[in-house]
Chain A
Amino acid sequence: MNASTPNDPNAVIECQNLGRNFTIGRGLFAEKKTLRAVQDVNLKVQRGEVLAVVGESGCGKTTLAKMLLGLLPPSTGDIYFEGEPLQNVDRHSIARRVQPVFQDPYSSLNPRKTLASIIALPLNVHNVGTSEERKKRVEEIMEMVGLPRRLLYSYPSQLSGGQRQRVAIARALVMKPEVLICDEPTSALDVSVQAQILNLLQDLRKELNLTYVFISHNLAVVEHMADQLAVMYLGRLIEYGASSEVFANPRHPYTKMLLNSVLTPDPSLGLPGSASDGDFPNPLDPPSGCVFHPRCAECMPQCMTTLPGILQDDKGLVECHLYTETAANAA
């Protein structure tokens, strides 16, 4: 396999051994340390699919999103966008095709601009159409996301949380992108509003044939939205596969632990047994061997010393000694 060519030219996004390091200076004379925020991530997203990325805070979800948006250059590996390496594409044309929706609609909208100018900004930046056409486009997109026209000259402070998130979605869609990177799009919203936004995202996906990368820590929402599921832990992709498959038969102990801690609203179930009492490790000083071993319920001696290999089969990908060992023995 040649590292500079994509495996699947049809995939909208493909990551190969993607990694990003940050250098952290800890004081004037202390040695600088490298924080590996994302390591060895291999992913593919097909057109019209929803890829969900889940994991605890600090696991590298947002760093991955920033790389996919072209806002952070990767330290290692490559990203291909429709078969084309992302570093060859200039920032403007990435922005035409990939757009973000951020978590907090209270801080992601400029409080001193009207909705009309917030939503039209991408059109101005990319110099699309005349001012008449831009205005028409803004009105169309507002209707599409369910914002009434009378709000055209309102300010974000006059809107509710749900309406603000609709503005953020409208701004992302105004350039007719192909991919939407949603970083926790509903976690700042109330449940009744969350349902409205999730329904809207579903409708828009069907209508515009959009591809979503959906980052969330709410596994119930992820199960509802995702086609593909990527589970990250400490910068590593530890399990990846079809969402229905991963939810039905999680393989990695961490995925099991995550799914086990989802609280479904069923009073007869009681609290789930806490499988692990451990805390999320310091990413500057990751554990040896398998990064998950200090919290793992099924930890084996080799987990503490050697990094597990990756097992890739028809069900997806898993990085765990439990599976790579048996696969090696069988072979």
Chain B
Amino acid sequence: MDDRGFRLSDPVSKLRDSDPTLLVKNLNVDIAVPAGTLHAVTDVSFHVDRGETLCIVGESGCGKSITSLAVMGLLPRKATLTATTLSLEGVDLMSLKERDFSNIRGNRMGMIFQDPMTSLNPVYTIGNQMEEIYTRHGKGTRQEAKDRAEYLLNRVGITAVKSRLGQFPHQLSGGLRQRVMIAMTLMCDPIMIMADEPTTALDVTIQAQILHLLADLQDEFNMALVLITHDLGVVARMADRVAVMYAGRIVEQGTATQVFATPSHPYTQGLLECIPIPGKSEPGSHLGAIKGMVPALVGDQDGCMFRNRCPYVMDACTHGNVPEQSLSDMRSYLCHLGSEQAAINLKSGAFVTAAQ
């Protein structure tokens, strides 16, 4: 029993302090499509510890959602996953049978999806859906499940909890639904939460509330949080560490302060130049623009994936592997240009010039 009066016993977890909560090394996800093989995720490595927030940021189609599904074991059947390591608290997730995996999923790790309307079951009550998770994972009786659901709904800031448990998802507003989703994820006291664009469907004022709630709960329950988003504002305010994804690869990693103060990969620099920032970018001025489009990820890949949009493209970029520039233990980026050149490029405003 933990101090909140709920059982934490779990046969699957083998707690070892040395293991990061979530460790992903050289993750590749390939999907067979009629035109060939789609390399959705290529050589992605990251780790998250308890109490830490990792934000994965990137545009649509960059593989951030596939990465989260791969970790959760929810990839579509035709996708093939290979990795050196994919482990949760030392438990190798790749070796697990589906049956064992479903004992972990929703139990030790939870997932919050973008649109709470489509991820909640419309024909079951809120209470029903929350209690099911608890009893499915053998955490206790239905009464205990109900008490836990009430406690958590209260905790996520929902009033009149007893009547809410009997309501259906369509009777709640978007913000409330997302709160219910969060409470539901916490039912089994997970050690890691994967949140895929949790606030994209919400209004700005509600977004601030939900992000606050997530940060508070992460502190209180000491969880690892992986937040997947395309909103650089959310990343800056929430993240301890940031991983920027482009075309299935992590192109830049580091702490939030490092990545936002000295973005080193041309793509990260471009992204930060093309968003209007109140108080910083001149109203009515030209924003920076990243020319061109994300390359197709089908078929063989060679060279840097960003080369067709990069203002600093060189001959070396067209083929071969792109070297990883490692600046410190957790700070690295994928580019031929060294950190000194990257710092010069950052001041050049090449993306704004490109937009003229």
Contacts and interface: CB of A to CB of B under 8 A. Distances in A.
A192 B231 contact: no
Interface in B225-265: 230-239, 256-257, 260-261
Contact of B237 (A198, A225, A271): A271
Contact of B281 (A224, A261, A266, A280): A224
Interface stretch (A8-16, A215-223, A314-322): A215-223
A263 interface: yes
A266 B215 contact: no
A107 interface: no
Contacts of B204: 56, 217, 219, 258, 261-262
B278 A192 contact: no
B287 A195 contact: yes
B10 to A, nearest CB: 31
B208 A265 contact: no
A263 B234 contact: yes
Contacts of B127: none
A190 B230 contact: yes
B274 A257 contact: no
B173 A280 contact: yes
Chain A interface size band reads 35 or more
Interface stretch (B34-42, B84-92, B288-296): B288-296
Interface string A51-71: 000001100000000000000
Interface in B254-285: 256-257, 260-261, 270-272, 274-281, 283-285
Given A220-B275, A267-B257, A261 B237 contact: no
A262 B234 CA distance: 9
B322 interface: no
A279 B176 contact: yes
Contact of B239 (A191, A225, A267): A267
B284 A267 contact: no
Contacts of A162: 293
B51 interface: no
B276 A261 contact: no
Interface string A64-102: 000000000000000000000000000000000000000
B170 interface: no
A264 B284 contact: no
A225 B283 contact: yes
A268 interface: yes
Given A261-B208, A271-B211, A279-B173, 9 more contacts: A56-B203, A190-B230, A195-B355, A198-B287, A224-B284, A261-B204, A261-B205, A262-B204, A268-B257
Given A191-B59, A198-B276, A267-B257, A272 B208 contact: yes
16 contacts: A192-B289, A195-B274, A195-B288, A199-B286, A219-B278, A243-B283, A261-B207, A262-B278, A263-B207, A263-B233, A265-B235, A265-B260, A267-B236, A271-B211, A279-B206, A280-B203
A9 to B, nearest CB: 27
B353 to A, nearest CB: 12
B205 A221 contact: no
Interface in A257-299: 257-258, 260-272, 274, 276-277, 279-280
Interface in A204-243: 217, 219-221, 223-226, 243
A196 interface: yes
B80 interface: no
A217 B203 contact: yes
B205 A267 contact: no
B278 A191 contact: no
A195 B207 CA distance: 22
B176 A194 contact: no
A244 interface: yes
Nearest to A162: B293
Residue of B212, B215, B278, B286 with highest tally of chain A CB at under 10 A: B278
Contacts of B257: 267-268
Contacts of B270: 192
Contact of B289 (A195, A258, A260, A269): A195
A160 interface: yes
A265 B277 CA distance: 8
A191 B232 contact: yes
B157 A271 contact: no
Given A195-B355, A223-B283, A272-B208, A263 B274 contact: no
B62 to A, nearest CB: 9
